[in-house]
Structures are given as C-alpha cells and as structure tokens.
Amino acid sequence: MRALLLLPLLTFGAYADAAPKNVIYMIGDGMGPAYLTAYRYYQHQLAESQQQTSLPIANTIFDDLLTGMASTYPDDDTLVTDSAASATALATGVKSFNGAISVNRQHIPIGTMMQLAKQLGKANGIVASSQVNHATPAAFVSHNVSRRNYNAIADMYFDYRINGKPVADVILGGGTDYFVRDDRNLITEFKKEGYQYADSWQQLSTLSQKPAIALLDKTGLPAALNSKQPQQLAILTTKALELLAPAEKGFVLMIEGSQIDWCGHDNDIACAMAEMHDFAQAVAVAKAYVDANPDTLLIITADHETGGMSLGADGKYLWLPEVIQGVTATGRKIADELNAASTDEAALSRWLALTNITLTPEEQQQLLAQRGKEQQALRDVAVKLVAKYSYTGWTSSGHTAADVPIMAYGKNSTDFHGFMDNTAIAKQLIRYISTTQP
C-alpha cells in the first residue's frame, strides 16, 4: 500500500530558516476543556492539603501554554469524531470517516506528516501509553480502513517503507501482543533491521541510539493510578528525545496521553486526574527540551473530548477534588479487588481503603449487589459513587463534539493562537516539515 505523499507546501528559502527544526506533537486523547479545569483545581487542592494552608489557585502547565481552541468534527454523518478520524486529521491535515487510519472516504491512503518527514530526511518517533498500534499513533505512520485491524497495522509499521526504512525510528509504549504473534514475530524482524529493543522498564535504559523500539506491556501500559512505575509518560518522553535529538535534519515526535480517554469512557474521574498528571509531567519534559533547544516547536492538543465531564452536578454548586484525591485506584481495580474479597464485610473494608469514602447503608447494598457479576457492572457502580461524592457530572460514556484546547510553545508558537480546525494544526506543521533543507 503506497500513500499519496503530501507535497511540500512552501518553497525552500527564507521560510525554511524560520521554520522549526524539530516538532514535538503531544495529544491528550479525550482531553476536553473541563479536564484542564479539573486538573487545575485538583492540583490546587493537593497543594493546599500538602501545605495545610490556604493558597491562591495557581496555573498548571496547561494553563501557561494555552493559546487557542480547535474543532474536531470528522468527514462523516456526525459531528462527533472517534480517535481514528481525528488522528487522521491531526496527522495529515485531511478529514476522514470514523474508524479510518489515514485513508479517505474512497479508502485511498493519505500521506502523513511523518511519512513526509521521513522522505525529507528527518527522524520520527511515536510514544503512547496505549498499545503503539492504537488509533492515534497508527494514523501517523500507517494506513487502514479500520482502526480495529491491529495486527495489520502493526505489520505496516515494519513493512511500509520510505527510502528503504520504516517510517518510525523510535517506537515506545505497549503492545507486545500485536508484535509478537503466532503468525509473525515483528520484533525479530525489527531487530534484524537494526532496531534496539526493550521489553521492560529496566531494559529501557539500554536503548542508546535509534532506531529503537520498546514494548513494555501486552497491550496498553497500566493505568497511571494503578501503576508501580511513576511518571510513565515522562520517562518515555525523555528517552524518545534522547534517541531522536542527534537527528541532523531534525525530528517529528508524537506523544499521546492515551488513557485520559479510557478514563473518560469509564466516567472515572480519579483515573482521569491521574492520567492528566502523567501527561502534564511529560509536557514538562517536552517544554524543558524546547527551552534548551529553541529551534523546536511544542504543540499540545486533544483529538476530541470524552465523557462530557462537568465540574458540579445534581444541581449543587459544588465540586470536591479532595474526594477524588482520596481515591487510590481506578474503578476497574476497585471492582477487581471487591470481587476478590472473601466476604461482603471484607469488600466494604477494601472499598474504604481504596476510596476513603464512607457509604450509606443503601449505597453499601447497591455496591454489594454487583459483587460476583461482570467487572463492568461493579466498576460502573464504583465510579458513579465517586462521581456522586465529588459532584462530578458525566453526560456520556463516549465522545462529544466539544472543541478542544490548543497549547503551543517554542519556535513559531504564535501561529497557533485563536480558533483553528484540527486539520489547520496539521497543515501548519506540514508546512514547517516541508521546508527541510536538502
């Protein structure tokens, strides 16, 4: 399958000197405006509780970098996009249908900015807290009519070549199940191609040069709230920049905070805040790189909003982040632990230990009634109780058509001020990439 590669949109010359050499493109999957607001107040409450004193509400790194808003609608019969169509828009500058991985309505591949970068001698990297062949990273380096064709997408990471090489020079995240299969071992093939490989956090430090690939879990990485590895995304971002920085003609690096979206689908506010913090720490790493390398542009946005989150619910003028801070596990983990408890009494004890929320007798019975059933049923009750006590509202278990934030920092960041469509973000980045000097 050969993509219709995007042609350079501007000629070489004075503009090339003004264009950033490196592009760091960060996508908070599902990160609508309310997520940024929630994270600000969540961090504020955390700071007050740690210092045990009243403090003024401080900006987060997202607030400091905010420059505009973007629309996200797909080329489909709806205004609500999925991650594949939105990632296609963010990677190619062209809208497509929900489920599409950088193909148009006629299923013809659309060239991506990373494919163009590779053609022009730049290096490329993808980092994700999901499996690396999930919708968003996939749209930057591959093509498929369905995001669900995970094995075929993984195959394309190796098989699709530009100048005789795979598109991505650095691939970091999860997804071993799709790259080491009974029918094909892609890791063996990547190694023969010269890629260094790591399959654990301990081995990550052994990656000393590109090309390199690290798959650190079977599918996605553990949820940040459950993980034994702190700052997962920040560590991967640091490693990706370390591997890509020597690129003579610069690089394009896409970093996805994938599981913000997964928490939104679950309507799990504690999970969402932990993923936002994990993403914020990665943003701080990227910002520090720009400070040290001013020929770099950092762009941060979201592919869509997930869950229709609101801060305040049930007609009450309240939102209580201190309740959320007391929750130390995702709804999924809470459900697993309650189901594993030997008695109802033990289950209620685990609930209190994991959430610090004291339930009424009626709520206890509501929770216990789901024990022994499928995890989702118990998880749904658990996250609804956390939402109730924190006064968090959710309108959907899916995506919404809400506009999403744009943040920009570094060289040419002023080109991303105000309102833009998601395709306009990609088109501007493609203009920069296309000015690579021969």
Q: How far are the Cα atoms of 41, 250, 306, 311, 385 from residue 315, in angstroms, in the given order?
A: 20, 52, 22, 11, 16
Confidence bin at 8 (pLDDT 50/70/90): very low
239 and 137 in one domain?
A: yes
Q: Can you give the pTM of this predicted structure?
A: 0.95
Q: Cβ-count burial of 227 within 10 angstroms (0-12 exposed, 13-18 middle, 19+ buried)?
A: middle
170 and 304 share a domain?
yes
Distances (CA, A) of 270 to 80, 174, 245: 25, 22, 35
Which CATH number fits the domain that encloses residue 402? 3.40.720.10
Q: What does the alpha-carbon distance between residue 117 and residue 436 come to, in Å, rounded to a whole number?
A: 8
Considering the chain, what is the average pLDDT of its residues? 95
Does 44 lie in the same domain as 72? yes
Both tokens assigned to 229: 């590895």
Percent with pLDDT over 70 in the chain: 95
> Is residue 3 over pLDDT 90?
no
Q: State the angle between helix axes of 269-292 and 375-390 in degrees (0 to 180), rounded to the nearest 10.
A: 80
Kindly report, residue by residue over 414-426, the tens digit of the pLDDT: 999 999 999 999 9
> Average pLDDT of 268-297?
98
- Asked if 278 and 234 sit in the same domain, the reply is yes
Q: What's the confidence (pLDDT) of residue 436?
A: 60
Q: Are residues 348 and 424 in the same domain?
A: no
pLDDT of residue 437: 56
Closest to 39 (Cα-Cα) out of 334, 400, 325, 326? 325
Q: What is the Cα–Cα distance from 26 to 31, expressed in whole angstroms?
A: 11
Burial label, 284 (beta-carbon count in 10 A; 0-12, 13-18, 19+): middle
Task: Report the run of H or E that residue 66 belongs to, with start and end.
Answer: strand 66-71
Asked if residue 86 lies in contact with residue 65, where contact means CB atoms within 8 angstroms, the answer is no
d(CA 304, CA 254): 16
- Give how many domains the chain has, as a whole number: 2
pLDDT of residue 12 exceeding 50:
no
pLDDT band at 55 (very low <50, low <70, confident <90, very high): confident
d(CA 357, CA 349) in angstroms, rounded, equals: 11
Averaged over 267-271, what is the pLDDT?
A: 98
Lowest mean pLDDT among 5-9, 141-145, 406-410, 411-415: 5-9
Q: What is the pLDDT of residues 162-196, one digit of tens each?
A: 999 999 999 999 999 999 999 999 999 999 999 99
On whether both 61 and 164 belong to a single domain, the answer is yes
One domain for residues 414 and 382: no
Instruction: Inform me whether the pLDDT recorded for 48 exceeds 90.
Output: no
Which residues are known catalytic residues?
83
In sequence order, what DSSP letters do the residues of 299-323 get, joined into one string? EEE-S-EES--EES-TT-S---HHH
Is residue 171 one of the residues assigned to a domain? yes
For 341-375, the pLDDT digits (tens) are 999 999 999 999 999 999 999 999 999 999 999 99
Cα separation, 371 vs 380, in Å, equals: 12
Residues 42 and 109 in one domain: yes
- 429 in the same domain as 407: yes
CATH of the domain at 315: 1.10.60.40
**How far is it, in rounded angstroms, from Cα 84 to Cα 192?**
30
Predicted confidence (pLDDT) at residue 9 exceeds the cutoff of 50? no
Q: Is the pLDDT of residue 336 over 50?
A: yes
Residue 243 has pLDDT above 50, yes or no: yes
Residue 317's domain comprises 311-393
> Within this chain, do residues 304 and 315 fall inside the same structural domain, yes or no?
no
- Do 73 and 33 sit in the same domain of this protein? yes
**Taking 90 as the threshold, does the pLDDT of residue 46 lie above it?**
no
pLDDT (tens digit, 9 = 90+) per residue, 94-113?
999 999 999 999 999 999 99
